[in-house]
């Protein structure tokens, strides 16, 4: 049976939708409708139930990297299902999995050549953290278990991953592993004191990590986890050299550096992995997901260095008892292989390197608008932050979500925005052209102007 939705009106769909609890749902607004039902997608566009064409500004969730509706992925996935739909990763292996693992290991920096597959990003983060603790137990370092994360970081929705995240807004009413996980501040140059240079600011942030390791005791600190660019924390790009220097601090104290590349891997910055190619450092572990299959099928991966693995290989009576029914699922592997092949055959990395600067440049023209404090980003990921006062850089009336208002106007004009409080995130599919970037920026400008008029009328600005 083909599921038909065109005979249902939005009210009926809203009612059915109430059966689900959405991620990050504001419970006070449950049942009030307002969600756009997306029913089709192609290229950089989504189409809603009424056939309205919308640019997918956030590229799904920064994951639809090769664009929507690619036939090669549909064929690879359906062929895989017809040929062999599932085999246990605990006891068997599959050629799609072995081939994909080797392909991404070739792209990985340094000696990060051992790949563990998961069912998504959070599971990859959790597996990386569990791996680190497991490793330290095997090494006999039973106290070396503490993890350092950063404010404004995001590392997923498992208990440990969420504990490593540092977004204040997400801390309400949940419990966290606060005995294990500790935080340092985010390296956000926009909010640095004007009296310090960028280099001084960077050094202070690196020192903060070292101080935190010394405060906790190096013998107790297992890992530092960081996104190369803090993504949903507001696309915070650290000063040049930050990752290299923090990775050196980690090495000095035998602290494992986990680079959370769940957003940045698979092309968003013009490279399959950004840590080495874009940020000039080699972590000990990389976690990836999202763009690994371009969002067609859920999948995640942990890439571990041979150096760490060497401490574990051929250990008697040691089992790495961590894994998922869907670790390296053949359908996910088929989608991942096909997505990577598509990227290679269509030179998408080179395309991002070419259009990325144009995307950033065009978005930065929005800084002339009175409520836009800063436009920042790299490659094809960016954020437009709205402020109440450009000099004071105060986030625009935090209780009032300007981002949602901009999104509403932009959707009426043909663009989906991902609002994060007073910040709008843009991370379109990597296939976006320069003229499509012009469309996106043009609509966003209009949406911001309209939202500004609203809040002026309502006396909020």
Ligand X SMILES: Cc1ncc(COP(=O)(O)O)c(C=O)c1O
Query: Is 288 near ligand X (CB under 6 A)?
Result: no
Query: Do residues 270 and 356 lie in contact, with contact meaning Cβ atoms separated by under 8 Å?
Result: yes
283 part of the interface to ligand X, by CB under 6 A:
no
Residue 155 touching ligand X (CB under 6 A): yes
Our CB check for ligand X shows the closer of 325 and 433 to be 325
CB of 338 vs ligand X, minimal distance in Å: 19
Angle of helix 330-345 relative to helix 348-364, nearest 10 degrees, comes to 80
Closest to ligand X by CB, 164 vs 371, is: 164
User: Counting contacts by CB under 6 A, is residue 260 touching ligand X?
Assistant: yes
Q: Is 289 in the site for ligand X (CB under 6 A)?
A: yes
The answer to whether 156 contacts ligand X (rule: CB under 6 A) is yes
227 lies in the site for ligand X, by CB under 6 A:
yes
**In whole angstroms, what is the distance from residue 4 CA to residue 177 CA?**
44
Judge whether 108 and 305 are in contact, CB under 8 Å: no
Please identify, using beta-carbon distances, which residue of 376 and 409 lies nearer to ligand X. 376
Residue 326 contacts ligand X per CB under 6 A: no
Residue with Cβ nearer ligand X (121 or 373)? 121
- Per CB under 6 A, does 262 bind ligand X? yes
Q: Which C-beta is closer to ligand X: that of 149 or that of 388?
A: 149
Of the residues 121, 234, 377, 447, which one makes contact with ligand X according to CB under 6 A: 121
Q: Which is nearer to ligand X, 426 or 451 (CB)?
A: 426
Selected from 154, 224, 279, 281, the binder of ligand X by CB under 6 A is 154
Closest CA to 237 of 117, 167, 152: 152
Distance of alpha carbon 289 from alpha carbon 221, whole angstroms? 26
Estimate the crossing angle of helix 95-107 against helix 330-345, to 10 degrees: 40
Q: Are strands 381-389 and 146-150 parallel, antiparallel or unpaired?
A: unpaired
Least distance from C-beta 360 to ligand X, angstroms? 20
Burial class (CB in 10 A: 0-12, 13-18, 19+), 254: middle
**31-61 as b/e: b if 16+ CB within 10 A:** eeeeebebeebebbbbebbeeeebbbbbbbb
Spatial contact of 350 and 358, defined as CB atoms under 8 Å apart: no
By CB under 6 A, is residue 231 in contact with ligand X? yes
**List 65, 80, 94, 122, residue binding ligand X (CB under 6 A):** 122
Residue 264 CB, nearest approach to ligand X (Å): 8
Phi/psi of residue 147, nearest 5 degrees: -120, 140
- Nearest to ligand X of 232, 411 (CB atom): 232
- Using the structure block, give the residue that is written with the tokens 């038909």: 4
Which residues of the chain form contacts with ligand X (CB under 6 A)? Answer: 61, 120-122, 125, 154-156, 227, 231-232, 260, 262-263, 289
């Amino acid at each position: 049976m083909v599921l038909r939705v065109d005979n249902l009106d939005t009210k009926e769909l809203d009612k059915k939708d109430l059966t689900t609890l959405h991620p990050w749902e504001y419970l006070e607004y449950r049942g009030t409708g307002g969600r756009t039902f997306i029913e089709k997608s192609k290229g950089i566009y989504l189409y809603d139930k009424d056939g309205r064409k919308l640019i997918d500004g956030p590229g799904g969730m920064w994951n639809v990297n090769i664009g929507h509706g690619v036939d090669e992925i549909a064929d690879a996935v359906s062929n895989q299902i017809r040929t062999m739909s599932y085999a246990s990763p605990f006891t068997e292996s599959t050629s799609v999995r072995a081939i994909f693992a080797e392909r991404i290991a070739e792209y990985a920096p340094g000696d990060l050549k051992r790949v563990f597959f998961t069912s998504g990003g959070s599971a990859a983060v959790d597996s990386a953290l569990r791996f680190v603790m497991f490793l330290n137990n095997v090494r006999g370092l039973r106290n070396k278990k503490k993890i350092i994360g950063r404010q404004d970081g995001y590392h997923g929705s498992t208990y440990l991953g969420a504990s490593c995240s540092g977004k204040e807004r997400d801390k309400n009413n949940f419990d966290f592993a606060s005995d294990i996980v500790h935080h340092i501040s985010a390296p956000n140059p926009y909010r640095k004191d004007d009296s310090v240079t960028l280099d001084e600011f960077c050094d202070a942030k690196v020192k903060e990590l070292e101080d935190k390791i010394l405060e906790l005791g190096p013998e107790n600190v297992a890992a530092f986890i960081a996104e190369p660019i803090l993504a949903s924390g507001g696309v915070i790009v650290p000063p040049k050299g930050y990752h290299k220097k923090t990775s050196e601090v980690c090495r000095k104290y035998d602290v494992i550096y986990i680079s959370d590349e769940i957003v940045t891997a698979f092309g968003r910055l013009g490279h399959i992995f950004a840590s080495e190619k874009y940020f000039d450092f080699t972590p000990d572990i990389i976690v990836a997901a999202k763009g690994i299959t371009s969002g067609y099928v859920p999948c995640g991966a942990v890439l571990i260095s041979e150096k760490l693995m060497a401490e574990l290989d051929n250990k008697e009576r040691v089992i790495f008892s961590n894994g998922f029914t869907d670790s390296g699922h053949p359908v996910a592997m088929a989608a991942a292989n096909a997505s990577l092949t598509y990227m290679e055959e269509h030179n998408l990395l080179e395309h991002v390197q070419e259009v990325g600067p144009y995307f950033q440049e065009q978005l930065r023209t929005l800084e002339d608008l009175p409520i836009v404090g800063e436009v920042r980003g790299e490659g094809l990921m960016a954020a437009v932050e709205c402020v109440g006062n450009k000099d004071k850089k105060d986030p625009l009336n935090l209780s009032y979500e300007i981002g949602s208002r901009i999104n509403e106007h932009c959707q009426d004009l043909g663009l989906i925005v991902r609002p994060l409080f007073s910040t709008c995130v843009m991370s379109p599919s990597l296939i976006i052209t320069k003229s499509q970037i012009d469309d996106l920026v043009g609509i966003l400008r209009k949406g911001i102007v309209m939202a500004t008029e609203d809040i002026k009328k309502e006396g909020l600005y």
